[in-house]
Amino acid sequence: MATTPTPPSHHQILIIGGGTAGITVAARLRRAGVRDIALLEPSETHWYQPLWTLVGGGQAPLRASLRTEADVIPPGVRWLRERATAVDPDARRVTTASGRVLSYRRLVLAPGLRLDWDGLPGLATALGHDGVTSNYRPDLAPLTWDLIRRMRRGTAVFTMPSGPVKCGGAPQKIAYLAADHWRKRGVLDAIRIILVIPEPALFKVPVFNRTLEDTARRYGIEVRLRSEMTGLDGAAREAVIADHATGKTETVRYDLLHAVPPQRAPEWLADGPLADPDSPYGYVKVDRVILQHPYFPDVFALGDVANLPTSKTGAAIRKQAPVVVTNLLSGLRGRPAAARYDGYTSCPLVTARHKMLLAEFDYDLRPTPSIPFIDTTRERTDMWLLKRYGLPQLYFKGMLKGLA
């Protein structure tokens, strides 16, 4: 006897992803009075990832970045503890890993990105062993600090991959924290530090780039611009560094290696109809101003998964979320999208223990400072205090509650 297929579970608004972007949007929608909201998120752990750099630098405990997912889900939002595996925007349906089918009136894509550890030969197998670490994994951030504080001499390599990455300043911030620690311990002169950056400058906004150049010089860091690690032999402790400007490669033996993996959209999105064909990394196509998919107006995207020409940071999400919510609600009411996102993002650039500069800028790379009467283009202790103590409070008690 044939069985009747189970009809899809329908929701007015379906959010994929329970990280920073998904929770912030859900909280704002609830405050706007929306009742039928479902959120797809398989993880039971919620991380405040910007703190991991300070964990790796010995300035914060890992537990300070941790909450349970249940603690951050807004009241009234239905939490579906599953992973999305496909989206059919024509049918307005999402399929989950268990085979469940969900339909929606509006879809918000906020699943974050995928850390492609296998995208660099040798990296996945070397992680956590023989001096190789990464602050992009919470279990390895404490190892970073352990390696830094135990090092007295040798070569330390800090790398960044090509392509968009979450928190673009993080690959170099840990190099500065390590160098400052070694300076204070009196061993900096015995340690060779190599910073491998694929970009033509340390930072794309000139005023902040100048400060970072001064910081690198202060520590004696060898900055390799337009360069990238292309291979790794963990057993031999050797990294292959390619200079994209000259086409030459060099094999460097290291004692400590902090690696940042290549990053891409989740495969189920990258291989689907919502991906931007102009993005080699599979990120979602979205209007850069109203954050709506140009071909499927029922779909919005924000955060790391959106193919936007700005840095992938929590600060960017804080400005994107109200735009998504406002325009989504306008569409439900039959009104045109009126809210605008100008590309604002912020990179808190830690340059030493208890020192930081706050880089805020928009799509046009214009500095857009949000704190009056304070010069955030220079290294400041008050900005470090903001990162260590102020921003986590703003995150947990403001953003995730739909208040900031």
**Catalytic residue ranges:** 167, 347
Q: H helices then E strands: how many in the chain?
A: 11, 21
Do you know the residue count of the chain? 404
Q: Give the whole-angstrom CA distance, residue 61 versus residue 105.
A: 42
For the purposes of burial, counting CB atoms within 10 Å of the CB of 365, is it exposed (0-12), middle (13-18) or buried (19 or more)?
A: middle
Residue 24 carries which side chain, given as an amino acid letter? Answer: T
Residue 295 carries which side chain, given as an amino acid letter? Answer: Y
Helix (H, G, I), strand (E, B) or coil at 176: helix
Q: Give the whole-angstrom CA distance, residue 110 versus residue 41.
A: 10
Q: Give the whole-angstrom CA distance, residue 179 versus residue 186.
A: 10
Instruction: Report the chain's terminal Cα–Cα distance, integer Å.
Output: 55
Backbone angles phi, psi at 312, to 5 degrees: -85, 95
Tokens at residue 179, please? 């160098």
- Could you list the beta-strand ranges (E) of 254-298: 256-258, 263-264
**Which residue from 240, 268, 269, 265 is spatially nearest to 253, judged by alpha carbons?**
240
Tokens at residue 325, please? 């919510």
Q: Give the whole-angstrom CA distance, residue 344 versus residue 356.
A: 19
Q: What is the gyration radius of the CA atoms in the chain, in angstroms?
A: 22
Tokens at residue 291, please? 């954050």
CB-based contact 295:169 (threshold 8 Å): no
